[in-house]
Amino acid sequence: MAKSRTSKRELDSYTIRDTNKVVKAGDCVLLRPSDSDMAPYVARVEKIEADHRNNVTVRVRWYYRPEESKGGRRQFHGAKELFLSDHYDIQSANTIEGMCTVHTFKNYTKLQNVGNDDYFCRFEYKATTGAFTPDRVAVYCKCEMPYNPDDLMVQCEGCKDWFHPACVDMTAEEAKMVAHFVCSECLSDKDRKKSENAHPTSPSPNGKAVLKRQKM
């Protein structure tokens, strides 16, 4: 007679070993990589289960880092950016080494201080095809690039667009020092010589235009 499949029971939570941190479905966690030199993997817990021997497993949905995607890391990707993939897996709960927070892009840009365990996600990623959702994002500056929250940008007082200092012939230091910035398209010939550059704050997640993107 064929053996019946080992039954599992679903758990409401799991306490990370040697800590008092409690993980529940929907939480984001850091999982130990096979190579100790690598950064921890990031995943969202979908389900927690235990077998008859109390071996606990978690069903997770992986987050990918930009360099793990088919298109690789691009200039506008933030250092703490992740993509929520369609890649699911079953892992031993013992591989969970900590918890983290994956913010929406909008909420991440509002953080006063970014901690080691703070990340953000603005795209979903199909691991099999390399496609992203959404396929359109706000763009800024003369270079028409999406906003990288790690980069300094200055806002034009005329058109309200945001610019990278290097794209308007400024250094980052100059951008931090000046009080007003008007881009070349908004300047009249008369005002061009009198203008002083800069307003060093961050743009909102909503841009002036959109960039169609199929693959990163």
Task: Collect contacts of 195-200 with beta carbons under 8 A, ≥24 apart.
Answer: 197/154, 197/168, 197/170, 198/154, 198/165, 198/170, 198/174, 199/154, 199/155, 199/157, 200/152, 200/154, 200/175, 200/176
- pLDDT at site 114: 93
What are the two backbone dihedrals, phi and then psi, of residue 13, each rounded to the nearest 5 degrees?
-160, 170
Instruction: For residues 124 and 165, state if they share a domain.
Output: no
Q: Whole-angstrom Cα distance, residue 164 to residue 184?
A: 14
CATH number at residue 154: 3.30.40.10
Q: Is residue 17 part of a domain?
A: yes
Instruction: For residues 43 and 31, state if they share a domain.
Output: yes
Q: Whole-angstrom Cα distance, residue 40 to residue 34?
A: 9
Q: Is residue 36 part of a domain?
A: yes
Q: Is residue 216 part of a domain?
A: no
Instruction: For residues 30 and 70, state if they share a domain.
Output: yes
What are the two backbone dihedrals, phi and then psi, of residue 65, each rounded to the nearest 5 degrees?
-85, 155
- Tell me which residue range forms the domain holding 96: 9-135
Q: Is residue 3 part of a domain?
A: no
Q: Print pLDDT tens along the chain (216 aa).
A: 454 556 889 999 999 999 999 999 999 999 999 888 889 999 999 999 999 888 999 999 999 999 999 989 999 999 999 999 999 999 999 999 999 999 999 999 999 999 999 999 999 999 999 999 998 888 999 999 999 999 999 999 989 999 999 999 999 999 988 788 999 888 864 465 555 544 545 565 555 433 333 334
Q: Are 69 and 213 in contact (CB under 8 A)?
A: no
Instruction: For residues 192 and 88, state if they share a domain.
Output: no
- Domain end residue (candidates: 81, 107, 135): 135
Instruction: For residues 61 and 150, state if they share a domain.
Output: no
Instruction: For residues 151 and 122, state if they share a domain.
Output: no
Q: Are 14 and 93 in contact (CB under 8 A)?
A: yes
CATH number at residue 53: 2.30.30.490
Amino acid in the structure at residue 116? N
Q: Which residues contact 77 (CB under 8 A, 6 or more apart)?
A: 66, 148, 216
- Residue 106 CA: distances (Å) to CA of 45, 179, 202, 205: 23, 26, 12, 6
Instruction: For residues 52 and 91, state if they share a domain.
Output: yes
- Domains: count for the chain: 2
Instruction: For residues 21 and 128, state if they share a domain.
Output: yes
Q: How many other CB atoms are there within 10 angstroms of residue 120's CB atom?
A: 20
Q: Are 40 and 97 in contact (CB under 8 A)?
A: yes
